[in-house]
Chains A and B, each alone.
Chain A
Amino acid sequence: MKINDAIFGAIFALLGAVVLVHVQSFPNIPGQQYGAAIFPGLIAAGFVVCGLLLVVSGVKSRQDQRWYETGEWLGSRRHVAAALAIVAGVVAYILLADVVGFLIVSPLLLVLWFRALGVRWGPAVLSAVITTLAMWYAFYKLLRVPLPWGVLTPFAF
């Protein structure tokens, strides 16, 4: 997935400009001329300058760099599914772990990821269960990380 430098440049320049405006509201250290605004302000100015330079170089090199170039994987349904499964899976974990519980979400996600990467059903389910239990034991039991129980709270041990 190659995106033309000019697009990156425009995004960064815009970001810089927004930050530059926003930092004007930051307070100084009482009694001093400097404070919270000067450092992010300088960075933002840097973003604007570098962003514009990227726009220029991106537009100049347009012959050999298209605006947007899809990688080989975007043409392959299996690879797109794998990438989506990974990103969506982590989002699902964030949303569901507290409600449903680690011991339910994790094996389901693992099976999803194993399948997306081409592992057969049998090994996928088996590895998912073993991994979940091992991870749960190591972090919950040994390291005392409060992994969420979710709906299983009544059975917590």
Chain B
Amino acid sequence: MDAIALAFGLVFNVQTMLVIAGSALFGLFVGAVPGLTATMATALLVPVTFFMPPIPAVAAIVTATAMAIFSGDIPGCLLRMPGTPASAAYTDEAYAMTQKGQAELALGAGLVFSAIGGLFGTAVLILAAPTLADFALGFSSFEYFWLVLLGLTCAIVITAERPLKGIVALLIGLMVSAVGLDNPAGHPRFTWGVIDLMAGINMIPMMIGMFAVSEIIRFAVDTNPRAVIVEQPIHNVFKGMWRLTRKYPMQILRGSVLGTLVGALPGAGADIAAWMSYAISKKTSKEPEKFGTGHVEGIIESGAANNSALAGAWIPALVFGIPGDSITAIVIGVLYMKNMNPGPTMFTQNPENIYAVYLLFILANLIMIPLGWMCIKAAKNLLRVPRNVLMPIILLFCIVGSFAINNSGFDVGVMLVAGVAAYVLEENGFPVAPAILGVVLGTMLEQNFVTSMIKADGNLLAFFHRPVAATLGVLAIAAWFLPPLIRRLRRTAGA
């Protein structure tokens, strides 16, 4: 009980509240501007959170991402451009509704069901995380090895259109994580005598590069003409929401459940949750022919899914230190910097921090409703913000932010290389999510692997001796071989 009181104290104080208010506005803005993503919002926040105590730092990220995933719906509806990739699944649908004069309904549904989905995901986080953490306390290096491997496998199987490219992206990430002294033998690997590489490649500038600089480059080379804002009077976005809730309770529940699950799977986040939910919604709908013509059903389901995925992603991140999506990959980096190392012991040693995270999620999803409503009201002005003025400002911020972590010009170089590399790789169909997971999890994978190998004296069978390890191991191996097997079976059955 004391821990809960402590958590309230950590969250409900002037500093944290100011941070929440500021990052909420920041998140709404970033989400509403096409080309700026929720992950980018997180990456840009890191240099600032670097100078804050742990809980306000986490508060900034939780609030900003929740807001950004919602406000990404706004340009989808009014410009036919998703504000963040998480809204891409139903952008055409929302725009079709706008053309039918239903912008108000589409935006309202986006807002209300985002909040509901977010709260659902938070509830699952609160219920599932402590139980899992209890279970994980008994894990040895064998279990962690398989768990990390399973996580990395999920990242490839779910996110990559072509698994081979996903694997290559993952290998790049793992290779980057291998640079430096932090390895079982303490040998300076791949440093070529460069002192700055001894401690490894700094994760924060790299992520700023991958998620912010790459988007700036993409904007600079974008040859598409500017989109035109649809002018439509928007009065009460909450009108009709109760009717929709009663009409589509199953869709809301299904979207939230699927979103939380997809979020919790490593590598897949809000955007994939939204795509899957939209597809399921269409498949199971009583009126699938209406999809694509401005029908609100799919928006409700996938709008709930993408926000619940945000909270779901925190489950493995807090319990195992395995990120559920790119955002939590950055969060894990922040937690380590704040000496709030994620893992099951965090639940027993510093439960107040965990309770504070729960509170922050509940709070963020509640204030989303009034703030989101204000954001919709201001949407027309927001969407007029000239992006060619915005992008250089963000770029300078990236430079200063990357520099600020270690006061090192080398890190600015890391940022640039990561940004260009992420742009080139993504242009050529290599997904970025497995790469970032590889970077974050590489050290953990190697440590648990080498420790296990030494404990087992090189006997690979020992990886299956403990029951939980064996189960996870079988799952991980099955995940590697099942999808191609199923594809082959389907092909032979079809032929």
Q: Which residues of A contact B (CB under 8 A)?
A: 1-3, 5, 8, 12, 19, 22-23, 26-29, 32-36, 38-40, 43-44, 46-47, 50-51, 53-54, 57, 71-73, 76, 79, 82-83, 85-87, 89-91, 93-94, 97-98, 106, 109-110, 113-114, 116-119, 123, 127, 131-132, 135, 139, 143, 145-147
Contact = CB atoms under 8 A, between A and B. Distances in A.
B396 A29 contact: no
B217 A83 contact: yes
A131 B389 CA distance: 10
Interface of B: 48, 51, 164-165, 167-168, 171, 174-175, 178, 183-187, 189-190, 213, 216-217, 220-223, 386, 388-389, 391-393, 395-397, 399-400, 403-404, 407, 409, 412-413, 415-416, 420, 424, 427-428, 430, 445-446, 449-450, 453-454, 458
A97 B185 CA distance: 37
B187 A35 contact: yes
Contacts of B392: 109-110, 113-114, 117, 127, 131
Contacts, number: 164
A72 B427 CA distance: 13
13 contacts: A1-B427, A19-B175, A23-B189, A27-B185, A36-B186, A39-B178, A53-B164, A72-B223, A83-B220, A90-B213, A94-B413, A143-B404, A147-B400
Contacts of A87: 217, 416, 420
Of the listed residues B222, B403, B413, the one surrounded by the most CB atoms of chain A closer than 10 A to its CB is B403
Given A43-B171, A82-B221, A139-B400, 9 more contacts: A35-B185, A47-B175, A54-B164, A85-B220, A94-B409, A94-B412, A113-B391, A135-B400, A143-B51
A117 B388 contact: yes
A113 B395 CA distance: 9
Of the listed residues B185, B222, B454, the one surrounded by the most CB atoms of chain A closer than 10 A to its CB is B185
Contact of B393 (A34, A90, A131): A131
Contacts of A93: 399, 412
Is chain B's binding surface mostly helix, strand, loop or mixed?
A: helix
